[in-house]
Chains A and B, each alone.
Chain A
Amino acid sequence: MKILLIEDEPSLLVAMRHYLESEHYNVSTANNFRTASVKAHDYEYDCVVLDITLPDGNGLAIVKELKEAHSQAGIIIVSAKNSLDDKLSGLELGADDYMTKPFHLPELNARIRSLMRRRQHEGETQLVFGAITLVPNRNQVLVENQPVELTVKEYELLLFLVTNKNRLLSKAVIVEHVWGDYMDGIDSHDFLYTHVRNLRRKLLDAGSPDYITTRYGAGYIFTPGE
């Protein structure tokens, strides 16, 4: 899957690239408006992740250019401004998602995956992880072809864990993804533990092996058997 990263801050670009490449994406980068515009024109990408504030131009103009060229690429805006106006104008121009800085790399990964699922596979898709099968279009989880009843939050939790499989995900990152910004500054440890315990129990009861490992004090890792 080809991704174009547009970001003027070099260290951030390196970190993003590193993480996404280890997720097996094919990553191109651009650190200014001109290069970004040329690359966006000359190549086809599945997803473009772009920073609005660039030294030589406004990232929103690239969104416009992509849309005018009828590009099929999914567009995720990353902005340092937590501004509703920017968000609305970005989405209005045709961007698919909007993230504010600072963000977590697993969160970026989850947003890209979710966008790709929505864009590329309009039909029935299944994500298979060991004994667990997820059907994102229907928000359904199957273990050994039997549906498992999960709450909305448990489903989102599982989807986030499998999207970032084999990664250590801290509790704060998980809570922020599943419950949103509202949980800012809320002590999330015990809270998340309850939800993970319920999810784990439901999966185990359905006959799935235990793929969720707890790293005490740090977070959780989802490691499906191959």
Chain B
Amino acid sequence: MKLLYKTALYLLLAAFPIALGGIFLLNAYIHRDMLHEIDELLASELIQVKEQLRLHPPDADDLPGWDPNVRITLAPLSYQTVPAYSDTVAFRHREKERSPVRMLRSTYAVDGQNYSISLQQSYLEFDEIASVVSVGVIVCFLIVVVLLVLADVLVTRRIWQPFYGIVRQLQYYRIDGPDEAEFPSSDVHEFKLLSQSLDEMSRRTRHQYAQQKQFTDNASHEMQTPLSVLSCELDLLQQSEGLNESDLDRIQRSQQEVKRLSAMNQSLLLLAKIDNHQFAHNDAVNIGELVNQLLTNYSDYVSHRGIAISRMIKDGPVKSLNRQLADVLFSNLIKNAVRHGDAGSSIFVQVGSNCFIITNEGDPLPFPEDQLFRRFVRNQALPQSTGLGLALVKEIAAQYGMTLKYDYASSMRRHMFQVDF
């Protein structure tokens, strides 16, 4: 749910209990105030009644019908009380129902007559006014809240526009892209800050990335060039007249070492590049097709060694990978199986929709199993190995969040590598 709607929803949800509580509080408050007003009214009425009694003392017969809200009776002179308020219930003839009333009782002695006065004021009208006012106020409150929330939604949607612009820009952000990313600015301070910080961050990371890329490129150039010189000089030396067999053998072995050094350099650079995430570009790689093609590349060598390859390759799982890395990943695993597989044995290759499995027959690992994917751990029996092939496999698998499993079934003398993608 969008932040916008979530805020609006919570505001509305909060408004209801507030409104409900508000009704009671308001009602109680109005009630208290009205009571005070009624009491004042009764008090002033009492003064008026007393004034009337003093100026025009009525006949005792007249007293009952004077005013339904005013009851004056004669009382013995000895009966004197101070004015007292009380709540009671009175039957109202007009509405024909009982209703709560406020009552003020007092006595008044004038011209040798003692009157007992009781004044009444019905609560009914005031109560109605109180509830009408409370409900009205709360309804207004709710309407105002709804309108405010609506206005907020509209305003916020406008204000957050630059934020979505920044997010869109981030989604398309490529560290190795050709252009410097320009995050949209805004007149909102926070978004401006965010945009500036992202600009700054992108500039910094791009700079670092470019430097690392340049370093690996330079390192590659600086090392491959002397190796090329060495290799070409050896090529020329090999063509010289009068070399005996051991000279040629030495040249040959030197060539092999040059080749190994170069392969090691390439692999280390590749590892560095993977660590630096320099392979940001992905392609849709058809894994079944790739594995088939790689197996074809090795078919001459495989058949030369009398190894039979059985394949169960599903056509297709297409994954988003960097083509070069996918090539290294699967060719290293296949090469590993081919090189370490016993002559005359079999290699089993399976490509499922979510996994790649390759097994080969061979002696158990000459080193502990947990070292298998470490750099420079290699079988000393194979002098040409760089000890980096499986380290690359692990690194590439990790790059794409694939799990890499190894197992050795000693009963069948089979090594198994599995990649789940």
For residue B245, which residues in chain A have a CB less than 8 angstroms away from its CB? 215-218
A100 to B331, CA, bound (A): 19
The reply to whether the CB of A135 lies closer than 8 angstroms to some CB of chain B is no
* Inter-subunit contact A15/B236 (CB<8 Å): yes
Tally of A interface residues using CB under 8 Å: 44
Given contacts A102-B262, A172-B259, contact A186 B236 (CB under 8 A): no
For residue B229, which residues in chain A have a CB less than 8 angstroms away from its CB? 9, 11-12, 15
Given contacts A15-B232, A218-B248, contact A82 B266 (CB under 8 A): yes
Given contacts A153-B300, A172-B255, contact A101 B225 (CB under 8 A): yes
A83 to B219, CA, bound (A): 13
For residue B297, which residues in chain A have a CB less than 8 angstroms away from its CB? 179-180, 182
The interface-forming segment of A65-73, A187-195, A205-213 is: A187-195
A100 to B324, CA, bound (A): 15
The reply to whether the CB of A93 lies closer than 8 angstroms to some CB of chain B is no
For residue B231, which residues in chain A have a CB less than 8 angstroms away from its CB? 102-104
* Inter-subunit contact B248/A215 (CB<8 Å): yes
Q: Among residues 261 to 276 in chain B, which have CB atoms less than 8 Å away from a CB atom of chain A?
A: 262-263, 266, 269
* Inter-subunit contact A16/B238 (CB<8 Å): no
* Inter-subunit contact A53/B249 (CB<8 Å): no
A51 to B294, CA, bound (A): 29
The reply to whether the CB of A170 lies closer than 8 angstroms to some CB of chain B is yes
A103 to B294, CA, bound (A): 23
A153 to B256, CA, bound (A): 23
Q: Among residues 1 to 30 in chain A, which have CB atoms less than 8 Å away from a CB atom of chain B?
A: 9, 11-12, 15-16, 18-19, 22
The reply to whether the CB of A225 lies closer than 8 angstroms to some CB of chain B is no
The reply to whether the CB of A106 lies closer than 8 angstroms to some CB of chain B is yes
* Inter-subunit contact B233/A11 (CB<8 Å): yes
A173 to B229, CA, bound (A): 16
* CB nearest neighbor in A for B249: A217
Q: Among residues 189 to 232 in chain B, which have CB atoms less than 8 Å away from a CB atom of chain A?
A: 217, 220-225, 227-232
**A interface vs B, CB < 8 Å?**
9, 11-12, 15-16, 18-19, 22, 53, 80-84, 100-106, 153, 167-168, 170, 172-173, 179-180, 182-187, 190-191, 194-195, 215-219
